[in-house]
Structure 1
Amino acid sequence: MAFNVVDGWTVPGFTHERELGGGAAGRVVLAVDDPTGTKVAIKYLDGALAADEAFVTRFRTAARPLSQLEDPNVVDFYDFVESADGAAIVMQWVEGVSLRRVLAVQGSSGPLAALSMLGGILLGLAAAHQHGVVHGALRPANVLVDAEGNAQVTDFATAPAGTEARFGPQYAAPELWDGEPATVATDLYAATAIFYECLTGRPPYAGRNLARLHREAPIPADEVPGPLRELVHQGLAKEPEKRPKSAADFLGALEDAAVSAYGPSWEAQGRGRLTELAAQAALQPEPPKPKPSRASGRNPVVAGQQPGGGSRTRWIVAAVAVLLLAGGGAGAMTLLKKDDKKSPPIPTTAQSSTPQPALPEGGVDPAPLIARIDQAVAAAPGAAFSYQQTGCCGFPVNSRGTFGLQGGQASFSMTLAGTGTARKPVRAVLVQNRLYVLVGKKWKSSALGGRGYPAAADQVRQGGSVTNLTTLLRSATKLTESGGIYEGEAPAAKLAQAPGLGPMYARMAQATGAQQIVFAIKFDAGHRPVKFWVRAGAEKGRNQIQRGSYSQWGAKPAVKAPH
């Protein structure tokens, strides 16, 4: 049903159809231009914002170049309307969903879709920067994904000067927390933080004291696929001068990295994946609005070719060669039923007249389940855990202890044992990408990987992570639920491409020759994982099995590196 009043004032000449959403800057409605019948989006600015003379003056200055800006990766700006009763921005209506919604439903998008997303954002930013306009407060809510998988940037210059960090605290460059003005460099930092979230399912920094984390915490690039880590290091550099000089320069680095890692046709596949993700997100309920941040620099709160003149480089993507794995049956349900308590309700797919995407065999839609898991774990970012990996080919690992969050990454305090030089149980601490082992009365540190304890610790961090469980659910081609236990299987080839976890599944592939990975996961009533079981290979014979448990979920203190 049409309505014509938004807080007592509307832009003349338009008929409102429905509300599209809202945020810190104001409410957005879908409207029709009465003379032409064209659908538009109108953002009615928050009353305090419309009354801020400094902001309005600044936005008037930006409105002229924005109205002249025409780029497929920027939402068209039509008009800035002011009256004694309010102010509003009239802009293009995009049939699509926000990246915020895509991430809330899907979590990580995979490297190709993430690259395509970042490329689209950089193209939009490059066009705006050429017209002298910076965004200032870029975040996933300001990026729209249309039905063809195109990323379009909107809401340029809608954050008052000096408040940009408050509008997007998880994506705000260090200098914004210090009160410095928004620049090209701050836009590139925010774009990289969004890219990181597309790759990993979470922003680079989360938790309390975001200002300090952005200023001081190590860049968590180890969570990113190896070929893309340099992009993250460049874009998230603490000093503005160490970031790429322009969006066009960053775009060139992106294309070089993408072609080198994934082949010359990387973007077509990434765009296709974005199209799938947007379609899936459109079928799910709108995620809850994030709570307004009160963070500040002093008292933070948290957690190719140049665009604009010639044709853009047409990106395309080649398929990545992956290892095939071979698999056996299930039978894990009985291993997890012990000590059953209340089970979480089965997430159901939102009702829609639009055809639903194909669900895994068994009929369970993993997307809403994953969203609930991520929300539940984020609210209690730490737990006691145990992890064991057994089977053929030198993989056995055994560990137990606690983990918490530090700088957005999981850190562990545990006893650890493995094979070879890591056979004897030792006391160990894992922080960032370094392992500390107590030898006698002294701690010795080493980088993860290689052999012995560092290899065993890396296996614990990957196989025992909640991310491993959500990756299995997301990749499942078969998924059933009974009594709060989700049992399924996922193609090993797909898991071998998962960001951060792919090498682990590739090793399991080589060891067992499985094509399917079977798994079972039990959750408590709050959608936090309690137990899990994963197998590559036949039920009897050559296989690899992971099993683990979580308990005492809560705000565990961050584990610190020993001295």
Structure 2
Amino acid sequence: MADGWTVPGFTHERELGDGAAGRVVLAVDDMTSTKVAIRYLAGALRADEAFMARFRASSRTLSQLEDPNVADLYDFIEAPDGAAVVMQYVDGVALRRVLAAQGPTGPLAALSMLGGTLLGLAAAHALDVVHGAVRPSAILIDGDGNASLTDFGTAASGTEAQLAPAYAAPELWDGAPATTATDLYAAAAVFFECLTGHPPFAGRNMARLHREAAIPVEEVPGPLRELIGQGLAKDPEQRPKSAADFLGALEEAAVSAYGPSWEAQGRGRLTELSVQAAQQPEPPKSKPSRSSGRHQVIATGEGPPRASRGRRLVGGVAALAVVAAIAGGVVYLNSSDGDATPPTPSPAQSSTPQPSLPPGGVAPAPLAARITQATGQAPGARFVYRRTGCCGAPAAAQGSFDLVQGAEPSYSMTMSGSGKVRKRAQAVVVGDRVFLRAGKKWRPAAGGRGYPALAEQVRRGSSVSAVTTLLNAAASLSESGGIYRGEAPVAKLSQAPGPGALYAEMAGATGVQEISFALKLDGSGRPAKLWLRAGPAKGRNQIITTSYSGWGRKAIKAPR
């Protein structure tokens, strides 16, 4: 609460955290019975007109952001007696509590945490929203091991270093504004703490340490030292250029060091740690401090699991049905917003011989049909694409796409490759036309080489048809921990229009006969992550990874 004022229409249950940005409480929407987290902004922030102007603008933008790695912002409410943010209630624990209870997480869980954090940052940065103070208390781990970011923009300009000193980039100590580069530095510092049990720098003069002290890369496992070195570079120009670039480097290092199943193993370990932390007594609350970096937790110690994300609440925050069951002192929350996939019906009994399942025991065709149906209901998404390996493969892109019935999907993206297309370029792809941004204008690009070819490569490798083509051609398919894994022969893949040409090109470059792939779906049956490889795990190979979020109509049109 702020000065006794409370957001009307909600009943408070208990306090979740307190700090320089204000108090956070767990509340229930009186109309829908939905649990939410409400942050009441501190009086000092409300009195700062410059902060409030920025926060209003970022709140409007964040309210439109729906990403599994960002806690939903439902509403920002201002009144004469106070101001408050109504947010998604994440059933889980803050990473700060996990580290306090368990110590170092181990490399796989740390990589999983960093991957989720970078996905959340990529989604926010794509909307020009900077977090400003990434720290363990702003990263929430739910019962499925998913890392979600919260607390965007709650530091007044110029106070970011004091709010989270252990994770503040050198330029913040010099008075520079928070940027995407400072967010990546902070994410790397949190990653370091997950690996070692302590932040990279600690001492009385944090500003000097961040500016001048050598990066302690020798304290982390060898395969991960380059990630730490890049992320904690003193010069922001030496850090990864974007969250997507950092994520690509992470995945490349993780696959090389720990194999293609690293993510499932890491999420599993992170789930175990969060559950164990939730079962331990909550540490006593410390007095709020602008320099502690530990001021807010929008979570509980009540454990797993959290299901699909709510959309909006009625009357300013969308309807979300919550079903709670209490067993062994652990609260289980399940939500339904009409967007979830209904249970798969049991196959009807028939005397007709049924087709045999491929090795692995999962039938590819029904899964492909489920994806087609689910994506048809939400025909578009944001994506982060990365292609690495030999033979001129490196490419990266991020943006959004819109599925077009009876035609190729339309794309709006920022992309870069190697050689003559190394420089990042903005592109819009509609039908068979590619438009490139030149200054403030868009120009149609002619020819099938250079950036037009790169744009088509991204479209072929990241489209929904790339996923369903793999499944329909799969010679084997298995499922474990929500991850589908399989292999598809190139001879069959190459016959498919669109992505078939890309798969044939990858196979030709690496000399393989099969493409290996792994797929994760969200709660509604739409792709969340696609990973595929042509060639061995180590050696001459090409790897494509694509992450998807924010499914819904994107309405991409050709620029004028």
TM-score, with normalisation over the residues of structure 2?
0.52
Match of 1:234 among 223, 230, 233: 230
Shift in Å, 1:47: 1.3
Tell me the residue number matched to 1:275: 271
Tell me the residue number matched to 2:124: 128
Tell me the residue number matched to 1:165: 161
Q: Cα–Cα, structure 1 residues 119 and 286, in superposed 2: closer, same or farther, change >3 Å?
A: same
CA deviations on 1:184-241 (whole Å, 9 max, x unpaired) are: 0000000000000000000000011000000000000000000000000000000001
Tell me the residue number matched to 1:197: 193
Residue 253 (structure 1) aligned with residue 246 (structure 2): no
Tell me the residue number matched to 2:64: 68
CA deviations on 1:247-300 (whole Å, 9 max, x unpaired) are: 00000000000000000010101000010100111112233456666769xxxx
Aligned residue pair count: 300
Tell me the residue number matched to 2:506: none
Residue 47 (structure 1) aligned with residue 43 (structure 2): yes
* Residue correspondence of structure 1 range 536-547 to structure 2 within 5 A: none
Which letter maps to 2:75?
A: D
Tell me the residue number matched to 1:23: 19
Deviates more, 1:50-59 or 1:220-229: 50-59
Shift in Å, 1:310: 7.1
CA distance in 2, matches of 1:105, 1:218: 29
CA distance in 2, matches of 1:314, 1:180: 28
Residue 119 (structure 1) aligned with residue 127 (structure 2): no
CA distance in 1, matches of 2:45, 2:203: 28
Tell me the residue number matched to 1:78: 74
* Residue correspondence of structure 1 range 151-550 to structure 2 within 5 A: 151-289=147-285
Q: Counterpart of 2:63 in 1: which secondary structure?
A: helix
RMSD: 2.2
CA distance in 2, matches of 1:44, 1:24: 11
Which letter maps to 1:117?
A: M
CA distance in 2, matches of 1:111, 1:162: 33
Q: Cα–Cα, structure 1 residues 169 and 310, in superposed 2: closer, same or farther, change >3 Å?
A: farther
Q: Cα–Cα, structure 1 residues 217 and 159, in superposed 2: closer, same or farther, change >3 Å?
A: same
8 Å Cα contact 1:169/1:293 also seen in 2: no
Q: Cα–Cα, structure 1 residues 96 and 314, in superposed 2: closer, same or farther, change >3 Å?
A: farther
8 Å Cα contact 1:105/1:284 also seen in 2: yes
Residue 144 (structure 1) aligned with residue 122 (structure 2): no
8 Å Cα contact 1:140/1:194 also seen in 2: yes
CA distance in 2, matches of 1:21, 1:292: 9
CA distance in 1, matches of 2:215, 2:259: 27
Q: Cα–Cα, structure 1 residues 292 and 173, in superposed 2: closer, same or farther, change >3 Å?
A: farther
8 Å Cα contact 1:97/1:281 also seen in 2: yes
CA deviations on 1:491-510 (whole Å, 9 max, x unpaired) are: xxxxxxxxxxxxxxxxxxxx
Q: Counterpart of 1:68 in 2: which secondary structure?
A: coil
Shift in Å, 1:7: 3.6
CA distance in 1, matches of 2:143, 2:238: 36
CA distance in 2, matches of 1:208, 1:137: 20
CA deviations on 1:391-413 (whole Å, 9 max, x unpaired) are: xxxxxxxxxxxxxxxxxxxxxxx
CA distance in 2, matches of 1:314, 1:107: 31
Shift in Å, 1:22: 1.6
Q: Cα–Cα, structure 1 residues 85 and 295, in superposed 2: closer, same or farther, change >3 Å?
A: closer
Q: Cα–Cα, structure 1 residues 49 and 101, in superposed 2: closer, same or farther, change >3 Å?
A: same
Which letter maps to 2:77?
A: V
CA distance in 2, matches of 1:172, 1:28: 23
Tell me the residue number matched to 1:552: none
8 Å Cα contact 1:21/1:28 also seen in 2: yes
CA distance in 2, matches of 1:116, 1:53: 38
TM-score, with normalisation over the residues of structure 1?
0.51
Match of 1:57 among 19, 38, 53: 53
Q: Counterpart of 1:88 in 2: which secondary structure?
A: strand
Which letter maps to 1:173?
A: A
Deviates more, 1:130-139 or 1:22-31: 22-31
Shift in Å, 1:35: 1.7
8 Å Cα contact 1:166/1:293 also seen in 2: no
Runs of at least 5 residues in structure 2 that lack an aligned partner in the other structure: 293-377, 386-560
CA deviations on 1:429-462 (whole Å, 9 max, x unpaired) are: xxxxxxxxxxxxxxxxxxxxxxxxxxxxxxxxxx
CA distance in 2, matches of 1:216, 1:87: 40
8 Å Cα contact 1:112/1:266 also seen in 2: yes
CA distance in 2, matches of 1:183, 1:18: 34
CA distance in 1, matches of 2:253, 2:118: 15
8 Å Cα contact 2:2/2:43 also seen in 1: no
Runs of at least 5 residues in structure 1 that lack an aligned partner in the other structure: 297-307, 316-563
CA distance in 2, matches of 1:61, 1:47: 19
Shift in Å, 1:15: 1.1
CA distance in 2, matches of 1:16, 1:117: 30
8 Å Cα contact 1:122/1:250 also seen in 2: yes
Give the ranges of 4+ consecutive aligned residues of structure 1 lying more than 2 Å apart after TM superposition.
285-296, 308-315
Tell me the residue number matched to 2:472: none
Shift in Å, 1:312: 8.6
Residue 96 (structure 1) aligned with residue 92 (structure 2): yes
Q: Cα–Cα, structure 1 residues 50 and 34, in superposed 2: closer, same or farther, change >3 Å?
A: same
Q: Cα–Cα, structure 1 residues 311 and 199, in superposed 2: closer, same or farther, change >3 Å?
A: farther
Which letter maps to 2:45?
A: L
